[in-house]
Structure 1
Amino acid sequence: MSQIHAKSPKHCAKQGLAVVKFKLNKKLFYSLSTFLLSISALIFLVWFILHPTKPQFALKEADINQLNLSGSHLLNSSIQITLLSNNPNKKVGIYYDNLQIYASYKGQQITLDTSLPPFYQGHEESNLLSASLVGNALPVSPSFGYEVARDQTAGNLAVSLKANGRLRWRVGTWVSGRYRFNVNCVAIMPFGPSLPTGPLSTKQGTMCSTTL
């Protein structure tokens, strides 16, 4: 005699609820996925259309007030600089969350990092940034004094002024994630036998390179 297995009404009700719940969860998942994809596509479309141009920097002025060796390889330095920062974008603002500046000579860092306060730069807006770069008893290579003397003989001293930090783009109310950027400026100053100790200055504006 064969056995007949019958499901109770209670069991059927539970199974029906499970199926309904699964369908609702599946529908909710697809709806949420569609919504997120639409938002991502919209952000990408806005980004593609606007395509922010990287900020531009120019060195307006640089003054070396101190660049003296203490002993054979310890350097004391004091440099004052003014940078012009420009946002060339017509519809994109820039948040500068972090910006640090330092000076280097012949590949050697000759000042400590100086941090500038965060700021926002609007569409096609420019800002003057001033910084005092200082180094006390910074170790340099034994050839540092020789390199400076050779530049003095040549009549020019070239110092690199570098900045690095993080920025965010703003389009309307949307703000992007953070992007790292680097700036490199070169200050070339007259430096001959008649200018043995400084201060050395340049007021010839020079464009800086920016990488993002």
Structure 2
Amino acid sequence: MSQVNEKSPKHCAKKGFSFNKYHKKLFYAFSTSLLTILFLIFLVWLTLHPTKPQFSLKDANIYQLNLSGLNLINSTIRLTLSSNNPNKKVGIYYDVLQVYASYKGQIITRQALLPPFYQGNEETNLLSAYLVGDQLPVTPSFGYEVGRDQRTGKFVLTLKVIGRLRWKVGTWVSGRYRFNVNCVAILPFNSIPSGPLNSKQGTACSTMV
């Protein structure tokens, strides 16, 4: 008569418990490694978290601002911006830089593309742009707004920079980030085209990354 060797339910329960225990150890080891990596990434980010660049408007000059009877604007504007990288350990690659001007929420020049450049730690660069608007459509109230500003003696011009940048830490370079810069220039308004409107007062700009 052959011997029948059957395991009791108690033995099966022990075997199942041992199997689950192995997976629990594996899960705990994986979780611990993941948390350690995330902590190190957070520590590096906390140490090297870059401060957004600082822009300021050095000067702005309006050489032409003519409105035709069809509500079309012709404009010529030259401006100089100062760009500063306040970071001590982080460089900045400016891959895309597009500049344009607006007045009362209406775009009055086409976008000018500035050449890309690299900005080192705590470095400052001057950027010049020549903006032109050729037969750009504006609202019928545009002429009234300009006339009202002329009577008050102040012309409020908004200059915008949109683009993409990358951070550089050592040999590591980040992905691209969008950024937007808004500058407001207040120019003494006497008359155009008898003389250009110009502003030499430096104004800080707001920057969003």
TM over 0.5, shorter chain: yes
Mapped to 1, the partners of 2:48 and 2:38 lie a distance apart of 15
Which whole-Å CA distance do the structure 1 matches of 2:192 and 2:129 have between them? 24
Work out the number of aligned pairs and report it.
Answer: 183
Alignment correspondent of 2:56: 58
SS where residue 210 of structure 1 aligns?
strand
Any stretches of 5+ residues in structure 1 without a counterpart? 1-26
1:46 aligned to 2:57? no
The aligned residue for residue 139 of structure 1 is: 137
Q: Matched residues in 2 for 1:38 and 1:113: separation?
A: 46
**Partners in 2 of 1:178 and 1:123 — Cα distance?**
18
Q: Do the aligned residues in 1 keep the contact of 2:162 with 2:179 (CA within 8 Å)?
A: yes
Tell me if 1:175 matches 2:173.
yes
CA distance in 2, matches of 1:147, 1:191: 13
Is 1:209 aligned to residue 209 of structure 2?
no
Q: List structure 1 segments (4+ residues) > 3 angstroms apart after TM superposition.
A: 36-44
Matches within 5 A, 1:1-212: 42-192=40-190, 195-197=191-193, 198-212=195-209
Paired letter, 1:158: V
Specify whether residues 94 and 37 from structure 1 end up closer, same or farther in structure 2 by C-alpha distance, changes over 3 A only. Answer: farther
User: Contact 2:64–2:192 (CA<8 Å) still a contact in 1?
Assistant: no
CA–CA distance in 2 between the matches of 1:37 and 1:99?
38
Q: What amino acid sits opposite 2:150 in the alignment? A: Q
Change (3 A) 1:171 1:37: farther
Q: Secondary structure at the match of 1:150?
A: helix
The alpha-carbon deviation at position 71 of structure 1 amounts to 2.0
CA distance in 2, matches of 1:109, 1:206: 21
- TM-score normalised to the size of structure 1? 0.80
1:121 Cα shift? 0.4
Task: State the 1:41 CA deviation.
Answer: 5.2
| Distance of 1:41 and 1:178 partners within structure 2 | 24
Task: Tell me the amino acid that sits aligned with residue 181 of structure 1.
Answer: F
Aligned counterparts of 1:116 and 1:77: Cα–Cα separation in 2: 19
Structure 1 residues 38 and 97: CA distance shift in structure 2, 3 A = farther
Q: Percent identity?
A: 70
Letter in 1 for 2:199: T
The Cα offsets for residues 179-204 of structure 1, whole Å up to 9 and x where unpaired, read as: 11100001100013xx2423100011
Instruction: Describe the SS at the equivalent of 1:48.
Output: helix
CA distance, structure 2, for counterparts of residue 77 and residue 128 of structure 1: 23
Query: With structure 2 as the length reference, what TM-score do the two structures score?
Result: 0.81
Once residues 94 and 37 of structure 1 are traced to their aligned partners in structure 2, the CA distance between those partners, rounded to angstroms, is 30
In structure 2, how many angstroms separate the alpha carbons of the residues matched to 1:107 and 1:160? Answer: 8
1:51 offset after TM fit, Å?
1.3
* Residues 1:37 and 1:132: Cα distance change in structure 2 (over 3 Å): farther
